[in-house]
Chain A
């Protein structure tokens, strides 16, 4: 069987979440450009694997009664973790998480306002499984993961979770609420250096009247919230900006009748989506996400990626392809240098150590302890990527998750290690070789050899195999080396 090249393995760690054995075999057949094609050219209509949840041969879930991922946030987290392990389109999941980070919306605030059930629907409901056809924010991100950023901005501006999260419902002509207008410019598009405070006031007025309406018979499962533009709440006056809104260079959104005033918001989003600084900011965000979080993106990377973005009418598929093909992304010196986010660490561990008989529910509290609770980014700025993940408590949580998984997989690991039981050297080389990680340094290998030899002369007995195979995978996945992708 062909071996996965180091570069393709790098691609699968960064653009996906590591590789299961079957993924390793599939991608070993492909050249690097073909592997990039395989990741980027998925068809969103064929990536749904939810039907396999709870069936043999897949990572498990834990239900407390009925599994309700559209209504109960813990089940929504389990469904997402399941997809992260088994999705046939790992890049779609990576970009879904990217948009979750970019448009960071937290369940705690949303549910505090609309309740836990509707809060879960707003975050995670799958339209085909919801009585009102509710589409959770994450489903929106998944559907549009590699689509047009401009279209995504419009959809996000109408998204129920976002309207609750950034208080859009309180934004009326008499009491403009600036929260969404500010974040749209500061965090979602071109960034804080490119607008002035009067732009925030104008942007708030632009979105006056963008609200939610109750739909469906109240008290039934069909009762929900739908986007609703309220003309009476819209400020019809002209809005002036410090940057061009229209292609003729005009900086003013002219007076418009209330009935058609929703177009104000579309005009502003259109302008922001194609602003050159938005293109550059997205390029920087993608650099942090895919390439490196501790050094600034080089100018030629920013220029190349932002040009691809603008030349393709804000469509993300060619943009991501350009990132993954860039000389920076493919530089061998960059392998294993980006700090693994908690979700990357957990999913890659499952894919590489084993997942049969493990429930993703057992990963939820560890992820919280590591600092990355899905559907709960710390604030509208998203997660702090990079060394910030590695507090002492966060590192302890990683080592302990490694122990939990190794404990769960002990018997399977013993059997996998059996062919290598002859010597401690063979055991260590087997375990290190089963994981995607840099070659061990001599001092690291010596530590592991001493570990295998500890507690009595090595004979390769079943009892020793059981202890030390699991123990080696615990040590390796809990080690500093394994915390990088």
Chain B
């Protein structure tokens, strides 16, 4: 198929699946449209990721002495080099695919992110990261608040959660983000009759009933409006279910979730915020950091294959510039391993940011794991890593510099940190 420039603009960048050998103008054009096509992908590592196993301080002797069973040998680490404090850092060996992304300057590693008096509770910790509010974490989520501030009417697909349960982060007062579990093809209207046109008759009748919006029954109008929105999203979601990708995605759940996100981006669905989640990070016992095929090593392996696939797919289609992936977890873990070759709940963690527009590299400094009294990088009697960068400063940067929002209104305060120039 010959694609002319005019067709291309009319059809929208995303209407085309472009192969490796895409002419340069495709990606240029995609970039030019970037401002309106930008999307944010939030990746949540559920359970409290052990940041010290993701980004390893492989020359800190206390890392090895305090983790005699689970430390990653320096020779196995994907060595990236020193941060601004001169401490040498490397990625977990199973994150080997991240090296080229880091080298291309598209991966930012923000060390020691967190907040004062970090909660060690999964529930409270997750609520705090979700609401960006350590004092009162009961209200809507920070991205729910962002979506609430978009001009009305907000597209029902402005947010897209790749799992059934919509996380607190995406809960807004006005906007309702759909949970669209994998496979996306399940997000469809069923009919008791499958033959011929019967499903179409059912769908048309359902839409007809939902067009009944009596002013004297606002509650009924509200529900019928929701039905209309649901029916209106089905065809767009179905196009994502049919998405094949410019590469073959692995079959695991995380990769398939990223494939759905890529599909939505490529098909130009218009979604601004995506949610992707992977569990299993609550590694209290038998953490298996160095295993061939188990535990934490497998979690890193999943991150590696799925994110590299996603990154490659978007790069092939010239959409990398429009996509920003931010990763968080509810807390980091205890520095010293416990008696069962695992790690308990700790404090500050690692945030990763990936994308074609990212200014990559290290942000912030690694902790000194020597538990001497008053070590400013540690807390809890030297047991935990203390935070250096308030996680809300990362959110603020994303809101201001990527989503074009006002972080002060969304976050309810000024958390901007000028040195945080990852985007």
Chain A interface residues toward B at CB < 8 A: 109, 294, 337, 339, 368-369, 379, 381, 387, 390-396, 399-400, 403-404, 406-407, 410, 441, 443-444, 447-448, 450-451, 454-455, 467, 470-471, 474-475, 478-481, 483-484
Task: Tell me which of B189, B192, B201, B206 contacts A410 (CB under 8 A).
Answer: B192
Given contacts A368-B164, A387-B223, 4 further A-B contacts (CB under 8 A): A395-B230, A399-B206, A455-B196, A475-B209
Tell me if A471 and B201 are in contact (CB < 8 A).
yes
Report the bound CA distance from A467 to B199 in whole Å.
Answer: 10
Asked if residues B206 and A479 are in contact (CB atoms below 8 Å), the reply is yes
User: Which residues of A are found within 8 Å of B178, using beta-carbon distances?
Assistant: 391-393, 396
- The reply to whether A403 and B190 contact each other, CB–CB distance below 8 Å, is yes
Residues of A within 8 A of B177 (CB): 391
In the complex, chain A residues whose CB is within 8 Å of the CB of B404: none
Which of B166, B192, B201 interacts with A470 by CB under 8 Å? B192
State the CA gap A475–B220 with chains docked (Å). Answer: 15
Interface pair B227/A481, CB less than 8 Å apart:
no
- The contact string, 1 if C-beta is below 8 Å from chain A, for chain B 187-202, is 1011111011110011
Q: Are B229 and A400 in contact (CB under 8 A)?
A: no
Q: Which residues does chain A contribute within 8 Å of B32, judged by CB atoms?
A: none
Would you call A451 and B192 a contact (CB within 8 A)? no
List B222-243 residues whose CB lies under 8 Å from chain A: 222-224, 226-227, 229-230, 233-234
| B135 → A minimal CB distance (Å) | 12
| 5 A-B pairs with the lowest CB-CB distances in the bound complex, closest first | A447-B208, A392-B230, A403-B190, A451-B205, A391-B176
A392 & B156 in contact (Cβ 8 Å cutoff): yes
Docked complex Cα distance between A404 and B166 (Å): 24
Give chain A residues whose Cβ lies under 8 Å from the Cβ of B220.
480-481, 484
Assess whether B81 is interfacial by the CB under 8 Å rule: no
B residues in contact with A379, CB < 8 Å = 123
- Supposing A392-B178, A393-B179 touch, asked if A474 and B191 sit within 8 A by C-beta, the answer is yes
Question: Which residues of chain B come closer than 8 Å to A470, judged between CB atoms?
Answer: 192-193
A454 touches which of B180, B192, B201 (Cβ 8 Å): B201
Assuming the contacts A369-B164, A451-B202, asked whether A471 and B193 have C-beta atoms less than 8 A apart, the reply is yes
A393 contacts which of B196, B201, B224, B230 (Cβ < 8 Å)?
A: B230
Q: Supply 9 A–B pairs (Cβ within 8 Å), ascending by A.
A: A337-B219, A396-B230, A400-B189, A403-B192, A451-B208, A454-B197, A454-B204, A470-B192, A479-B209
In the complex, what's the smallest C-beta–C-beta distance from B385 to chain A, in angstroms?
22
Number of interface residues of B (CB under 8 A): 42
Q: Does B399 contact A (CB under 8 A)?
A: no
User: Please, how many angstroms separate the alpha-carbon atoms of A395 and B220 in the complex?
Assistant: 13
* Cα distance, A396 to B227, chains bound together (Å): 7
In the assembled complex, how far is the CB of residue A2 from the closest CB belonging to chain B, in whole angstroms? 30
Bound-state Cα–Cα, A443 to B214, Å: 11
Is B212's CB within 8 Å of the partner chain A?
A: yes
Complex: A403 Cα to B193 Cα, angstroms: 9
Contact B190 A400 (CB under 8 A): yes
* B135-156 contacts to A (CB < 8 Å): 138, 156
Give the residue among A339, A399, A450, A455 with the most B Cβ atoms within 10 A.
Answer: A399
Query: Quick one: which of A467, A474, A480 contacts B210, CB cutoff 8 A?
Result: A480
- Determine the chain B residues whose CB is within 8 A of the CB of A450 once the complex forms: 205, 208
Residue of chain B at shortest CB distance from A407: B192
A454 to B203, CA, bound (A): 12
A447→B209 contact, CB < 8 A: yes
Closest to B176 in A: A391
The residues of A that contact B230 with a CB separation of less than 8 Å are 392-393, 395-396, 399
Instruction: Indicate if the CB atoms of B219 and A393 lie closer than 8 Å.
Output: no
Give every chain B residue within 8 A of A404 (Cβ-Cβ).
190
Residue of A nearest to B194 (CB): A407
Interchain CA distance A92-B210 in the complex, whole Å:
35
Q: Which residues of A contact B198 (CB under 8 A)?
A: 455, 467, 471
Interface centre among B176, B202, B214, B224 (most CB of A within 10 A): B202
Which A residue sits closest to B207, measured CB to CB?
A447
Contact A390 B212 (CB under 8 A): no
Q: Check A448–B189 contact: CB distance below 8 A.
A: no
A444 to B195, CA, bound (A): 24
Interchain CA distance A387-B175 in the complex, whole Å: 12
Asked if B227 and A393 sit within 8 Å, CB to CB, the answer is no
Distance in angstroms from A434 CB to nearest chain B CB is 16
Residues of B within 8 A of A455 (CB): 196-198, 201
Q: Is the CB of A294 within 8 A of B219?
A: yes
Shortest distance in angstroms between A454's beta carbon and chain B's nearest beta carbon? Answer: 4
Residue of B nearest to A379 (CB): B123
Q: Are A387 and B219 in contact (CB under 8 A)?
A: yes
Contact of B189 among A294, A396, A441, A444 (CB under 8 A): A396
Nearest Cβ distance between residue A356 and chain B, in whole angstroms? 17
In angstroms, how far is the closest chain B Cβ from the Cβ of A111?
Answer: 13
CA A222 to CA B189, docked complex, whole Å: 47
Using CB atoms, name the residue of chain B closest to A442: B212
Give Cα A368–Cα B164 distance, bound, in whole angstroms. 8
Distance between Cα atoms of A470 and B194 in the complex (Å): 12
Alpha-carbon distance A369/B165, docked complex (angstroms): 8
In chain A, what residue has the closest Cβ to B197? A455
- In the bound assembly, the distance between CA atoms of A239 and B95 in angstroms comes to 54
Pair A390/B179 contact, Cβ less than 8 Å: no
